[in-house]
Structure 1
Amino acid sequence: MSGIPEGYLEPLQYFSDYMRERLAPDVQEDANVVQKGLHLYRQGAVTSVKLDRGLAAAAVQDVAPVKVTLDLDLPPMSECTCPGDGICRHITAAFFQLLSYERSVAEWVDAWRKPLKEKQAAKSWGLERAKDLLKTAGLIKPNYSQWVNTFRESFDLIMRGQGDPKPHVIPDLFETYYRRLKAGAPLKQEWKNLYFLVASIVSFIKLLELSHDLGHDEETVNKQYRDLFQMSMNDITKLSDSISVQALPFDFDDFIEQLKDETNALLASDYMIEYDRIHLYCLLWTRLFKKKNWREEQLIEHLKNYDRSLAQTVAIIHLHLLLKNDDEAMTLIKSCAENITPYFFYWMDLLTEGKEWLRMDPYLTEFVARIRAFLALEGDYYACRDFTRMVLQSALPFCAETRRTELFEKALYEMLPYSFREYEDFLFEKKDFAKWMELQTYIGLKMESLSKGQIKVLQDEAPELLLPLYHQAVQLHIDVKNREHYQEAVRKLKKLRTLYKKMKRVEEWEEFLELLMMRTKRLRAFHEECKRGKLIDA
């Protein structure tokens, strides 16, 4: 074959992209597949290449000959007659052969290996540069400005010293950068936590700036280095909690006061990962920046800005809450759209922690009123389920302590269908069986869905609710029209008879059975099972 027909060029590119994404150069197994496939291709082991309707068929002469079919439109459907799974060396060899008709295989392999080479080069470069600071470990005197300048300069040097880094290189560079910070930590233990707290906050903000400057979208960040933000947040949470419960040296005050000014960068509207940024801001002003005058000054600064972003609005509400200005906080909350809803979690958890139930009541009530509209915006089922679990976890302590079960039930109702299981359990434990059955009807309950324990409780306390379920189950088994299901229908009929007798409605049972026998008179096998089960006379 001298070349690829024009109609196959785009599918070939699609297949090429698929191979590049599925085979990772830093995974030894994938690297072996590419190396062996390349060897087979270069040996000329791939022959009889044919193209037909989006498929490329080829023979590959290995230790044993195999046949390969590449599906250029649906790459995962590609097949090889060898016993291997997924992308094997034969599929890879056939791909290289097909690719060679249009472009250089060597260039494809080099481009595929490039990310690994870049990561290794960046890591080794960063490690070499980091050695310079190891000599000064512990010699930096506690000085806030000097610390921050060192962090920022080190970040720029390591992360951007060789130009704008590719997304996949950022984790390795950041690891080197952070190792460098550790080398410069103070020797005195009491200063180490504060040093690392300042380092983590500055690093978090610098990473935000980097992703913004490089134009990385949310998908790129999530895929390549979102865990760096999460790691920094975890460190900041632990360090701020640790520092906040200690008796701090007087010298710390100036450091913490200067550190609070850094937090405004977390509210910048240009940055992504909005929820994490706002959460971090709220956490710091709750745990670390506790002085009333600091919070009042910060609130005044934010209130000066009339054209506020969501982040700034949440910050104002949070500061109002910390200052116990609940009326002002609620007024602002009520003026906000549905996108304010997820931030209630932090406020409710904070009030729960302090057991401030009276203050929490209006926040939770407003939150519950917003749930359904927010879930309609979210859309994704799994995200909605996660949200549901978080709501119940936040609301339960308050509702249990204040006995506001009606508010808890309203939350469960507003979150349907995502709260179905929890709402079902709530109603059953409450013994509100009528409403429980309405809920079951909503999702199309079948007899088989009930546990033995539920059936027993209903038999004792609300047998009338089981009647329609047993009737439905009997009819479904009869409709299958085989001996096994007829036998199951008879078993269900016996239980139905027991229920009617318990409810002293024997005449209704007899009328139903007589009508059932008339409707099924052509089903001889079913009648035989009814006789065997002594439902009717032999």
Structure 2
Amino acid sequence: MALSIASLAREQTLFIKTQLDQIEHALHPSVTEDEELVRRALFAVRNKSVIFDRYIPSTTNLYAAVQDVRPTQVLINFRDEIVHCDCPHGEWCRHKVSVILSLYQYIDSVQDWTAKWRSKKSVNLHLLATERTPESWLAMVDEVMSHLLPEGRPIEKFQISTVAENADSKLKRHLPFEREWQPLYELFMQISILNKIWQHLNLFGNTIHSDYFEYFFNRRFEKIQNTIHELSVKSRLFATDPFFDALQVLVRELLLERKAHIGRRLNVYLLFWDNVFIEKSRAEEELEILQNYLMQEENPLSSEVLLPTILNIFHILLKNYEALKLNVASITPEQMNIYFGLAKFSHSRHDDEASEYMLKAMLPLLNDYIQHHLTPSQRQMYVRRIHALYENVSLTEPEELLLYSAFGVYGVAPFSGYLLKQKRYEEWVALHQLYPSSISYLDSCGLKVVLEEAPSLTLPLYHYYALEEVNQKSRMNYKQAVRIWKMMKSAAKKSGKTNFWEDYIHTVREQFKRLRALQEELEKGNLLV
């Protein structure tokens, strides 16, 4: 049966045009390598180097060969929308592009498509890279991102990471040769791409609130952290000062002018001011700029940005504790997450005084914040992290009780540790009776310490958990109950209550005499002796 490529191409018009759209977004005419790739693909089409071997209708597989330096096989599956090439190159190689263009020529003009694609070239990235100024680097990012993020067109949430990786790969081709410049270039491009994507997403819907964005941001933040670490061990050249000035502006824009995830934007801002912008004069300059925003009646700031709170960063950096005290006096539950980040920032800088001011100001609001501003799934992790900060602060006894009462059920483990330090073993037992859990959790909370210091106090706990196992009415649970009773027997012996134990275990045997499997396990456990 003869293969009619013209008929097949017309039948698969939508697929072919979709693939061409993807090629347009993946390949940029301003990138020398991309332009060369398309040029060679066009050469293959014009020289009839693309040969369609066979088409299998039942599987919708089209097999093609491209006569290149070596023969290359390309497979198109129309049903699953897959284009596969056996060459080792990236997502779009010249072979795939040449096959798609060969099909497109039966639908429309390849020459018109090529002219339209090349018309998007406004600058030469290679020439911009050789200029090495912040303005040229920003122009490179603008050129690449304008192609990947078309104006007025939203991107699908699952494409966010792909867009960023595509931009990374195109811009990384122009990485400076000198090692001293490489981390700075990478950091500049990473934060610029993040800023551009965030700005684009703010224009459309709720994409920025998706799990895809969370995944993208976490990976991007990790990359930025690693690059900053690499940059921090390099000596800074005088010629790089303008680039740090530009970075300062980019980071400020991300915090103040973008929308959504204020905590994540603040994390980026704090990361830079903790590790990159280390000069006192730069901190004083930034503080003055932010204070000027406060005096403006109209400014471009996002409505979720509370400038007085952000100013605390620079009160910490410049050790202006009086201004810091004044600001934390008016803290609200809605600001708690930001102040939590500021307290971590202070602790990372070994500024215990600033950290203590903020953490003590947060104490009266903790209960309200945990119970009404955090989802149940967030509370356990939040309590664990905030407690790690409070451990570095000297609290009075009333303040400690206020802290642990705010934690509630989510703070059983840290409160247990506090009670053990105070040797308040009865209260430790009462806490675990109030919030029952499991024997293994008791062990993690210090049961062995109580067993060593006050073994008689543990007897009610062992009794409770053993009966919980018995109530499950299965042999496996009976075995676990016997294990717990063995612990209880040891605790009773250690506290000199052997007679109590004998009376207790005989009472248990009598109470559950109808449970034959339990009686057998009690015999095996030698608990009745």
* Contact map agreement 2:502 2:528 (CA 8 A) in 1: no
* Contact map agreement 2:309 2:327 (CA 8 A) in 1: no
Distance 1:113 1:500, change over 3 A: farther
Residue equivalent to 1:441: 433
1:182 aligns with 2:148: no
* In 2: Cα distance, 1:484 partner to 1:271 partner: 54
* In 1: Cα distance, 2:194 partner to 2:369 partner: 29
* Contact map agreement 1:459 1:499 (CA 8 A) in 2: yes
Of 27, 31, 34 in structure 2, the residue corresponding to residue 131 of structure 1 is 34
* In 1: Cα distance, 2:255 partner to 2:28 partner: 34
* Contact map agreement 1:338 1:370 (CA 8 A) in 2: yes
1:256 aligns with 2:244: yes
* Contact map agreement 1:122 1:173 (CA 8 A) in 2: no
* In 1: Cα distance, 2:396 partner to 2:184 partner: 42
Letter in 2 for 1:140: T
The structural deviation recorded for 1:393 is 3.5
Residue equivalent to 1:213: 203
* In 2: Cα distance, 1:310 partner to 1:470 partner: 52
Residue equivalent to 1:310: 305
* Contact map agreement 1:310 1:340 (CA 8 A) in 2: no
Of 370, 373, 376 in structure 1, the residue corresponding to residue 368 of structure 2 is 373
- Root mean square deviation, CA, Å: 4.8
Residue equivalent to 1:288: 276
Letter in 2 for 1:301: I
Deviates more, 1:500-509 or 1:481-490: 481-490
* Contact map agreement 2:208 2:260 (CA 8 A) in 1: yes
Matches within 5 A, 1:245-394: 245-268=233-256, 271-306=259-294, 309-394=304-389
* In 2: Cα distance, 1:231 partner to 1:481 partner: 48
Deviates more, 1:466-475 or 1:294-303: 466-475
Distance 1:507 1:431, change over 3 A: same
Other structure's SS at 1:417 match: helix
Residue equivalent to 1:468: 460
* In 2: Cα distance, 1:486 partner to 1:356 partner: 54
* In 1: Cα distance, 2:206 partner to 2:320 partner: 39
Other structure's SS at 2:274 match: helix
The structural deviation recorded for 1:494 is 8.8
Residue equivalent to 2:194: 204
Residue equivalent to 1:122: 25
* In 1: Cα distance, 2:196 partner to 2:258 partner: 13
* Contact map agreement 1:274 1:311 (CA 8 A) in 2: no
Residue equivalent to 1:89: none
Distance 1:124 1:169, change over 3 A: farther
* Contact map agreement 2:128 2:136 (CA 8 A) in 1: no
* Contact map agreement 1:487 1:529 (CA 8 A) in 2: yes
Other structure's SS at 1:313 match: helix
The structural deviation recorded for 1:241 is 4.0
Identity of aligned residues (%): 19
What's the CA shift string for 1:130-189, capped at 9, x where partnerless? 624888278522212222122223211232179544443443333332222122333333
Residue equivalent to 2:224: 236
* Contact map agreement 2:506 2:528 (CA 8 A) in 1: no
* In 2: Cα distance, 1:421 partner to 1:112 partner: 58
Other structure's SS at 1:418 match: helix
* Contact map agreement 1:208 1:272 (CA 8 A) in 2: no
**Structure 2, unpaired ranges of 5+:** 1-11, 36-122, 296-302
Letter in 1 for 2:240: F
Distance 1:119 1:472, change over 3 A: same
Of 158, 162, 166 in structure 2, the residue corresponding to residue 172 of structure 1 is 162
The structural deviation recorded for 1:261 is 2.5
Letter in 2 for 1:281: Y
1:420 aligns with 2:425: no
Residue equivalent to 1:100: none
**Structure 1, unpaired ranges of 5+:** 1-108
The structural deviation recorded for 1:481 is 9.4
Letter in 1 for 2:25: A
Q: Could you say which structure has the greater relative contact order, defined with CA pairs below 8 angstroms and 6 or more residues apart?
A: 2
Deviates more, 1:346-355 or 1:399-408: 399-408
Letter in 2 for 1:196: E
The structural deviation recorded for 1:284 is 2.0
The structural deviation recorded for 1:335 is 1.2
* In 2: Cα distance, 1:226 partner to 1:463 partner: 48
The structural deviation recorded for 1:361 is 2.4
Deviates more, 1:412-421 or 1:129-138: 129-138
* In 2: Cα distance, 1:346 partner to 1:253 partner: 28
Other structure's SS at 1:188 match: coil
TM-score (norm 2): 0.63
* In 2: Cα distance, 1:372 partner to 1:153 partner: 49
The structural deviation recorded for 1:282 is 2.2
The structural deviation recorded for 1:325 is 0.9
Report how many aligned residue pairs link the two structures.
Answer: 424
TM-score (norm 1): 0.62
* In 1: Cα distance, 2:129 partner to 2:227 partner: 22
What's the CA shift string for 1:28-68, capped at 9, x where partnerless? xxxxxxxxxxxxxxxxxxxxxxxxxxxxxxxxxxxxxxxxx
The structural deviation recorded for 1:210 is 0.5
* Contact map agreement 2:32 2:126 (CA 8 A) in 1: no
* In 2: Cα distance, 1:525 partner to 1:437 partner: 31
